[in-house]
C-alpha cells in the first residue's frame, strides 16, 4: 500500500528532474548556437521581472485573486516553502539559469 501511494510522487519527482535538466541543456545549446549567452540571460531576467510585477499579476487574475478580503484563502507556499516546491518544478529557477548563462559567457570569452 505504501509503495502504491509513493510511486506516483516518485514518478513526478523524476519527471520534474528530467525536465529541469532538459531546460538547462536547451539554455546552454541556445547560447552556443547564437553565440550570445548574455542576450539569453537578459531575456530570462526580463521574463522573471515581469512575472514578479504585481500589476501584471492582477491584470489577468480572477476577481477572487484581486480582492484583498479573499487573499487569506490562497496558499502561497505549499509544502512549507520554496525549497520543497523546487523539487516539483518543471523549470530551474530563473536566477540559476541566468547564473549558468553568465558562467557560460565567461567560459566562451576565455576560449576565444
Measured from the Cβ of residue 41, the count of other Cβ atoms closer than 10 Å reads 22
C-alpha cell at position 15: 519527471
Q: What is the pLDDT of residues 54-87, one digit of tens each?
A: 665 555 555 555 555 555 555 443 334 455 567 7
Measured from the Cβ of residue 40, the count of other Cβ atoms closer than 10 Å reads 19
Please state whether the predicted TM-score (pTM) of the whole model is above 0.85: no
Residue with cell 507556499: 77
Domain boundaries, the chain: 75-112
Query: How close are the terminal C-alpha atoms of the chain, in Å?
Result: 58
Q: What is the pLDDT of residues 9-64, one digit of tens each?
A: 898 889 888 988 999 999 999 999 999 999 999 998 888 777 666 665 555 555 55
Amino acid at each position: 500500500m505504501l509503495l502504491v501511494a509513493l510511486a506516483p510522487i516518485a514518478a513526478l519527482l523524476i519527471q520534474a528532474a528530467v525536465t529541469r535538466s532538459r531546460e538547462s541543456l536547451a539554455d546552454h545549446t541556445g547560447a552556443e548556437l547564437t553565440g550570445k549567452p548574455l542576450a539569453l540571460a537578459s531575456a530570462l531576467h526580463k521574463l522573471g521581472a515581469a512575472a514578479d510585477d504585481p500589476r501584471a499579476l492582477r491584470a489577468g487574475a480572477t476577481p477572487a485573486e484581486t480582492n484583498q478580503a479573499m487573499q487569506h484563502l490562497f496558499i502561497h507556499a505549499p509544502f512549507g516553502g520554496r525549497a520543497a516546491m523546487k523539487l516539483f518544478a518543471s523549470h530551474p529557477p530563473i536566477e540559476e539559469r541566468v547564473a549558468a548563462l553568465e558562467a557560460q559567457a565567461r567560459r566562451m570569452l576565455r576560449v576565444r
